[in-house]
Amino acid sequence: MTQREFRLPDLGEGLTDADIVRWLVQVGDAITVNQPLVEVETAKAVVEIPSPFAGVLVGRHAEEGTTLPVGAPLLTIRTADADGPAQDASPGGQPGSSAGRSGGARDGGGDGGRGDGGRGDGGRGDGGDGGGERVPVLVGYGPRAHQPRRRSPRRAPVAPRAAGSAAAVLAKPPVRKLARDLGVDLAAIVGTGPNGTISRTDVEAAPRVGGRPAPAGAPSPRPGTPLPPVPPATSPAPAPARPAAPGGTGLVGQIPADATYATASGTWHVPVVGVRRMMAQSMVASVAAAPHVTEFLSADASATMAARARISALPEFAGVKVTPLLFVARALLVAIRRHPMINSRWVEDGGAGRAEIQVAERVNLGIAVAGPRGLVVPHIPDADRLDLVTLARELASLTEDARADRLPPARLRGASITITNVGVLGVDIGTPILNPPEAAILALGSIRPAPWVHEGEITARTVAQLALSFDHRIVDGQLGAAVLADVGAMLTDPTLTLAWS
């Protein structure tokens, strides 16, 4: 028997650390290759890290809520002698490896769904105490010697797993998360998918048991190879009873589940980690580095709202959600074509004391969305090259995925200009903070009937509130005003969108 130390892998996207959110295995559990071990949260996403080898878990090196740097020991697994000499494993150690919302396994445990699956470039493990040769490891695939071969065209049928059996549960990471959210015990479900794999439909149809399901027992990692028993872990002393959080009744502003309660001071302590930390750092850096200026405009959007009703009835837009945000986004894209300097960023040259303005050729349109882990700004690549119906679909899909926390990390960085829709929150308008290093951010406020002078008479019109914040190092007042005025003009007269395109 040998012991292998598994280190926190490089999750890519320039990330240097991760927070331990929840352990999925306990000391003494039998571990299979590609079995999810732990949920970690980075500044970009929540990731399930799979095991690169099979064995028995003998040690965890971090508690939930702690932050680990890349390469730090994560856990130790005892493997059979046939698996080779002891060594450290650090999958994904090469630059460029990354993981999405669920970096799950292929074939064995799922692909993460919707393009969120992890990607591992060949990383090398650090030498272990036994001086064994370093073995290349891929995230989610284990040592090269134990990588699964390509699936054969012919495969022997596998009997479905009976409900409540001790066999390993076959379910993709998104399905496992859904089961946890709904309080469904996966071990009690008979999967209807290939080889008994449990699907979302199976989980949604299963009875709720309330609370989290008990972990299902896993089979011996190597049939026929006995493993010595592991003494049970010492149970920690029960923590003092946690009082109920203050009874908020709003949809937002509730005390998060990861907060701890300090009895002595009577305060809740909310950790600043993951997206919360990333957002705080970005906002402080933005205000400190970029001189913000905000300009405001009220625009008569009556013609746009009438056009919205007509477009929604077109066959090409059947099943497509046509929102005011769609027309504001299209107007901003046209305004950028007329004033390309607004689609830029300020870049400084290290210690040389020089700077330059980089103007992007394409428009990666960021949309600020309040997700379950905080404010995120996913983007639509090449939004300026999309037709109206495709742009509408992209906006709906992007918002839905962000609120469901299933966006891949690549979509959470790289925006060149951003729109934030504060009107849906019930406020008139605000002063948005730039999403660094972008030069501008457009806020869409309320759109509601208001008194307006139209054709020389005061009448009720549908009025939209707009605000444009910009970096005054790049954008002067004239350019900012021109962009904002163009957007307002196109909302007032949608034919200008065609004329200026």
Which residues are part of the catalytic machinery?
472
Query: Which DSSP string do the residues of 177-246 spell out, in sequence order?
Result: HHHHHHT--GGG----SGGG-B-HHHHHHSPP-SSPPPPPPPPPSSTT------PPPPPPPPPPPPPPPP
Least Cα distance to 497 among 326, 297, 327 occurs for: 327
DSSP category for residue 438: B
Whole-number Cα distances in Å, 468 to 419, 435, 486: 9, 13, 12
Helices 324-338 & 388-403 angle (0-180, nearest 10): 120
Query: Whole-angstrom Cα distance, residue 464 to residue 452?
Result: 12
Torsion of CA 26, 29, 31, 37, to 10 degrees: -10
Are the C-beta atoms of 138 and 120 separated by less than 8 Å?
A: yes
**Please, are residues 396 and 320 in contact by the beta-carbon 8 Å criterion?**
yes
Per-residue buried b or exposed e for 226-240, using 16+ beta carbons within 10 Å of the residue's own CB: eeeeeeeeeeeeeee
Instruction: List the beta bridge partners of residue 119.
Output: 98
Rounded-to-integer distance, Cα 486 and Cα 286, Å: 26
Task: Tell me which amino acid residue 370 is.
Answer: A
Q: What is the DSSP letter of 7?
A: E
Backbone angles phi, psi at 55, to 5 degrees: 160, -150
Helices 302-312 and 477-492 cross at an angle (nearest 10°) of 50
* Residues near 374 by beta carbon (within 8 Å), at least 6 away in sequence: 274, 275, 276, 278, 279
Nearest Cα residue to 44 out of 272, 394, 279, 395: 279
Cα–Cα separations (whole angstroms), residue 29 to 33, 72, 121: 13, 22, 28
The token pair that represents 460 in the structure block: 């009720």
- Cα–Cα distance measured from residue 341 to residue 385, given in angstroms and rounded to the nearest whole number: 18
Residue 345 and residue 362: Cα distance in Å, rounded?
13
